[in-house]
């Protein structure tokens, strides 16, 4: 069964970013429950900033699961990433992610690698950078596997990175890893920019698909741009996708409105007809 999730961002400095609920974990969870979401996706400042006992209490109070832990703050706040030419920067990125893997393991949640994957600082060297990233990912994935955690590799569009822009590139990278606990996070906003066909990309990469970011072409909530969500829902059901579809969109017109609109589309186009 396809399950629903919604993002809760706990990093006020990045306000303006594409996250639905902000700042107040409990209020985000309360509204997520009220609107019928199964889970929240957490975007923390860092692992140390999360009070695990409180997170457990709040999730259980509102009968929500943790669908995933995002790592983007490591890049957005500190400019750390796994492809940096500066070794100490790379090490900090690795440590930041390893700490979040440890946090995620307490909740049985996967860890998202989006902007923290990084980019080739010199485009001409992207091949070498990718080869090194492959090794780093294998090491991180091994570590995650020991803690029962999976990694979600998220392709980002060309304006955000110059490596792994399309699902197929993530698919090939994952296939080259020794680790078996790395899957693709398909974000519809990025896919709308990069894929020849959103539905064909889902079909080609279905065996490695682990998670979906539900968002429209303009990064507003599903239904407020020009992505055809009936088609998306149909292809996800057709390929037998069973993971989370998580609202990662601008809080437009506001957090509550964005979450409510997403839930409407989720019920109408994504979950509808899914095997229960
Ligand atoms: Mn995303």
Structure tokens at 73: 């703050």
Q: How far is the CA of 203 from the centre of ligand 1 (A)?
A: 19
SS3 content of the chain, % helix, strand, coil (to 5): 50, 15, 35
Q: How far is the CA of 72 from the centre of ligand 1 (A)?
A: 10
What DSSP element (H or E) covers 155? none
Cβ atoms within 10 Å, residue 145: 16
Residues recorded for the chain: 276
| pLDDT value of residue 273 | 59
Q: How far is the CA of 27 from the centre of ligand 1 (A)?
A: 22
| pLDDT value of residue 13 | 94
DSSP state, residue 267: I
Q: How far is the CA of 154 from the centre of ligand 1 (A)?
A: 7
- With the C-alpha atoms ordered 165, 270, 144, 76, is the resulting torsion angle positive or negative? positive
| pLDDT value of residue 123 | 85
- With the C-alpha atoms ordered 88, 91, 92, 93, is the resulting torsion angle positive or negative? positive
pLDDT digits 0-9 by tens, 52-93: 999 999 999 999 999 999 999 999 999 999 999 999 999 999
Q: How far is the CA of 143 from the centre of ligand 1 (A)?
A: 23
Q: How far is the CA of 89 from the centre of ligand 1 (A)?
A: 23
pLDDT digits 0-9 by tens, 11-62: 999 999 999 999 999 999 999 999 999 999 999 999 999 999 999 999 999 9
pTM to 2 decimal places? 0.97
Cα end-to-end distance, the chain, whole Å: 5
Q: How far is the CA of 113 from the centre of ligand 1 (A)?
A: 10
Q: How far is the CA of 248 from the centre of ligand 1 (A)?
A: 6
- Mean pLDDT, residues 137-147: 97
Residues 68/81, Cβ–Cβ less than 8 Å: no
Structure tokens at 257: 């409105």
- Mean pLDDT, residues 154-171: 97
Q: Is the pLDDT of residue 192 over 60?
A: yes
pLDDT digits 0-9 by tens, 113-126: 999 999 999 988 89
pLDDT band at residue 272 under the 50/70/90 scheme: confident
DSSP state, residue 269: I
Q: Which residues of 56-69 are buried (b: 16+ CB within 10 A; e: fewer)?
A: eebbeebebbbbbb
Q: Is the pLDDT of residue 275 over 80?
A: no
Q: For residues 51 and 164, what is the distance between their CA atoms, to the nearest angstrom?
A: 33
Nearest in space to 111 (alpha carbons), one of 45, 41, 21, 52: 41
pLDDT digits 0-9 by tens, 195-242: 999 999 999 999 999 999 999 999 999 999 999 999 999 999 999 999
| pLDDT value of residue 124 | 85
């Amino acid at each position: 069964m396809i399950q629903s999730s919604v993002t809760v961002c706990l990093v006020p400095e990045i306000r303006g970013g594409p996250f639905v609920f902000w700042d107040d974990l409990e209020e985000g969870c309360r509204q997520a429950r009220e609107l019928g979401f199964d889970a929240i996706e957490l975007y923390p400042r860092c692992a140390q900033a999360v009070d695990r006992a409180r997170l457990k209490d709040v999730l259980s109070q509102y009968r929500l699961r943790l669908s995933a832990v995002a790592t983007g703050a490591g890049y957005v706040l500190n400019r750390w990433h796994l492809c940096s030419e500066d070794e100490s920067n790379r090490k900090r990125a690795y440590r930041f992610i390893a700490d979040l893997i440890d946090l995620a393991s307490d909740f049985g949640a996967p860890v998202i690698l989006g902007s923290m994957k990084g980019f080739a600082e010199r485009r001409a060297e992207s091949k070498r950078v990718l080869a090194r990233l492959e090794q780093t990912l294998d090491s991180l994935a091994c570590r995650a596997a020991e803690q029962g955690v999976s990694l979600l590799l998220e392709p980002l569009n060309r304006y955000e990175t110059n490596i792994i822009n399309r699902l197929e590139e993530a698919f090939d990278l994952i296939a080259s890893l020794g680790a078996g606990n790395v899957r693709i996070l398909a974000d519809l906003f990025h896919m709308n920019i990069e894929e020849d066909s959103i539905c064909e990309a889902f079909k080609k990469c279905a065996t490695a698909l682990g998670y979906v970011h539900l968002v429209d072409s303009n990064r507003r909530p599903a239904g407020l741009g020009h992505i055809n969500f009936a088609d998306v829902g149909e292809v996800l059901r057709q390929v037998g996708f069973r993971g989370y579809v998580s609202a990662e969109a601008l809080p437009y017109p506001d957090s509550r409105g964005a979450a409510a609109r997403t839930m409407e589309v989720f019920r109408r186009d994504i979950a509808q007809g899914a095997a229960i």
